[in-house]
Structure 1
Amino acid sequence: MAPAKTVRVAAAQLAPDLHSCKGTLAKVLNAIDEAAGKGVELIVFPETFVPYYPYFSFVLPPVASGKEHMRLYEEAVVVPGPVTALVAERARAANMVVVLGVTERDHGSLYNAQLVFDADGQLVLKRRKITPTFHERMIWGQGDAAGLKVAKTAVGKVGALACWEHYNPLARYALMAQHEEIHCSQFPGSLVGPIFAEQIEVTIRHHALESGCFVVNATGWLDDAQIAAIEPQEKLQAALRDGCLTAIVSPEGVYLAEPLRSGEGIVVADLDMSLITKRKRMMDSVGHYARPELLSLAINSKPGQCRHAMSKMPGDVEDRPTFMAEGKEHEFLGELETASNN
């Protein structure tokens, strides 16, 4: 029998540069180099790590957040663009799969995006957080299910979700049904307080057990000076502390390395991929344990669009006599339906 495949993975807990996309990007590239020196084949960074998570939106009222929101626009990442080109180059040089969270700028809107670069540097997945959470809805637009996919990479089938998307069981099931092997989860860290870390622990261990896959989870970190810079009022600074749990979990719900709960660092572990079959032998949620004739999931995988091409536009003057002539109403409605389906 051939030996079981082993994959070495890493989860990075780092503090962003809250003033510069370039500063945070430098930390990403350095972390990739450091992980490469340890033989890492896949690395996961925190939620919207580049340029930085919008911590300001959690503590500032909307009327006072305009300046910081505008600055985030200026530092946000265009995909593809210079930032993705540099990350792709470093991933290729390190022969490493890189999962990076960014605030993406698409013209006049920002999105919480997750990028998966394969070991050859190709961007094999870009997805947007389906529904930003609470304060985040003032910052990011809504994503769609076009990116709710598992990417085939050099280390296996990789899926990704951000933060409280893990509380959307149908989003998780969409990835499970595609037989993800390594689930990459990202949280902001340094938020809410200790209870947030406790919730993360429950969430990632449950997903590992339910999906029968490995989970590599990365959270961010803020030091005291950064917290004070975001929120000078000491009584509100507790909202930007703790909430960190960078960890790697097996399909049996077991930590494969000591989780990192404070400070900067990189958690590294080896994944014995045979554990996936060992877990699913007992309970395969999308296989012998599923009952698709009773319960199933429907996914609209079309990208969200604000413009749809139509063969004939309602309201065109030259079309009115033809479309709206007596007995032609059904023909008009039928053409609209056909166009919208295309």
Structure 2
Amino acid sequence: MGDSAVADLTQALDTSNMTSSKIRVGAVQAEPVWLDLQGSVEKTIGIIKQAARDGVQVLGFAEVSIPGYPWAIWTKSVVENTELIHRYMANSLARVSPEMDRIRAAIKEAGIFVVLGYSEREGASLYIAQSFIDTTGEIIHHRRKIKPTHVERSIWGDGQADSLKSVVDTPFGKVGALNCWEHLQPLLRYYEYSQGVQIHVAGWPPMFPDPDPKELKWPYHETDVANLLTSQFLAIEGQAFVLVATQVVTEANLEKLNMAGGFPLFKVPGGGFSMIFGPDGRPLATALPAGEEGILTADIDLADIDYAKGMIDTVGHYSRPDLLSLNVNSKPAKIVTEME
């Protein structure tokens, strides 16, 4: 065997910078500091510090945990939400900002890996974003929800092709993440599996139980149970550990959210449905009450993934690329191209 072949083999075998296959993971269930960027940063830092005290090494936050999910976009008109969205824009988080620097510094001090979900402001546009922040406090990957759902499109823009990458190498294995109904995009899930995800962060807004149909006709796929099942299915289909991170809503904040007067779907305090699933879909933590804040934790062993992979490897021995395959455009579009 030649030197180049030996080098290639060595590189192939060195597939991870993992320190150990045994990891403690955490999924956040918390109420945002609604529409308050500075308050959100403070609370985020507090959660990171608590996770470190709990021995968590990989921590997942909910979709747009900063500055919270503006639920009134589903229940009120654009005109009725004008001031809400104006304030929401002003309190969304820029990826490059003093506020993000404070969060990054807290993560560095804690020495943990974090997937942070937030409403990202870039210029005058907003995006549903996830930053992958390593133990040194560096943002090693950043992605945006590639297609906001339904009325979300009136507030947040689309992620570009660079957001298709959803998995990074860390000392704790390959960590991936998607937001909300990105979990219902089968090709996006499949592409994540092809990136070798081992620990997946599923970020969600507050979701609630199926309401009484006499009070409100509501689609079942927009309930906490349905979206928890969606997250669990990713664990089964992708043979990955899944950290479901969610938000809580309390009655005291309904007016701030332009939800005063109640809404048949809302059961407050409520909205939380955080969980941790194993690579065969088994729940690995005890759920918190829907209105309670906390960090769910589980001690996992990445070697256990092989128990599931031995039976089904969706992008390996259980695939048929000769019959079915996926084409991916990885080059983001540009708003301006300079002509030479």
- Of 313, 326, 329, the residue aligned with 1:300 is 329
Match for residue 171 of structure 1? 188
Match for residue 156 of structure 1? 173
Q: 1:275 to 1:192 in 2, by over 3 A?
A: same
The answer to whether 1:112 aligns with 2:125 is no
CA distance in 2: counterparts of 1:93 and 1:40, whole angstroms: 13
Q: Is the 8 A contact 2:235 2:280 kept in 1?
A: yes
- Of 39, 44, 52, the residue aligned with 1:36 is 52
Match for residue 277 of structure 1? 306
**Distance apart, 1:237 and its partner CA:** 5.3
TM-score between the two structures when normalised by the length of structure 1: 0.86
Q: 1:192 to 1:259 in 2, by over 3 A?
A: closer
Runs of 5+ in structure 1 lacking a partner? 312-342
CA distance in 2: counterparts of 1:173 and 1:191, whole angstroms: 28
Runs of 5+ in structure 2 lacking a partner? 1-18, 212-219
TM-score between the two structures when normalised by the length of structure 2: 0.86
**Distance apart, 1:70 and its partner CA:** 1.1
CA distance in 1: counterparts of 2:277 and 2:289, whole angstroms: 15
Q: After superposition, give the CA deviation of every residue in 1:39-60 in whole Å (9 maximum; x if it has no partner).
A: 1101111110112222231222
Counterpart residue identity of residue 148, structure 1: L
Q: 1:164 to 1:128 in 2, by over 3 A?
A: same
**Distance apart, 1:73 and its partner CA:** 1.3
Q: Please, which moves more after superposition, 176-185 or 223-232?
A: 223-232
Match for residue 220 of structure 1? 247
Aligned length: 308
Match for residue 104 of structure 2? 88
- Of 259, 282, 307, the residue aligned with 2:287 is 259
CA distance in 1: counterparts of 2:271 and 2:34, whole angstroms: 18
**Distance apart, 1:142 and its partner CA:** 1.0
Q: Is the 8 A contact 2:246 2:272 kept in 1?
A: yes
CA distance in 2: counterparts of 1:303 and 1:222, whole angstroms: 36
CA distance in 2: counterparts of 1:82 and 1:192, whole angstroms: 38
What SS class does the counterpart of residue 7 from structure 1 fall into?
strand
What SS class does the counterpart of residue 64 from structure 1 fall into?
coil
Match for residue 268 of structure 1? 297
What SS class does the counterpart of residue 130 from structure 1 fall into?
coil
What SS class does the counterpart of residue 226 from structure 2 fall into?
helix
Q: Is the 8 A contact 1:92 1:121 kept in 2?
A: yes
Q: Please, which moves more after superposition, 79-88 or 115-124?
A: 79-88
Counterpart residue identity of residue 248, structure 1: I
% identical equivalent positions: 36
Q: Which protein is richer in helix relative to its size?
A: 1
If you compute each CA radius of gyration, which structure gives the higher value, 1 or 2? 1
Match for residue 48 of structure 1? 64
What SS class does the counterpart of residue 79 from structure 2 fall into?
helix
Q: 1:193 to 1:308 in 2, by over 3 A?
A: farther
Cα RMSD over matched residues?
Answer: 1.8
**Distance apart, 1:106 and its partner CA:** 1.1
Match for residue 16 of structure 1? 32
Q: Is the 8 A contact 1:6 1:273 kept in 2?
A: yes
Q: 1:192 to 1:239 in 2, by over 3 A?
A: farther
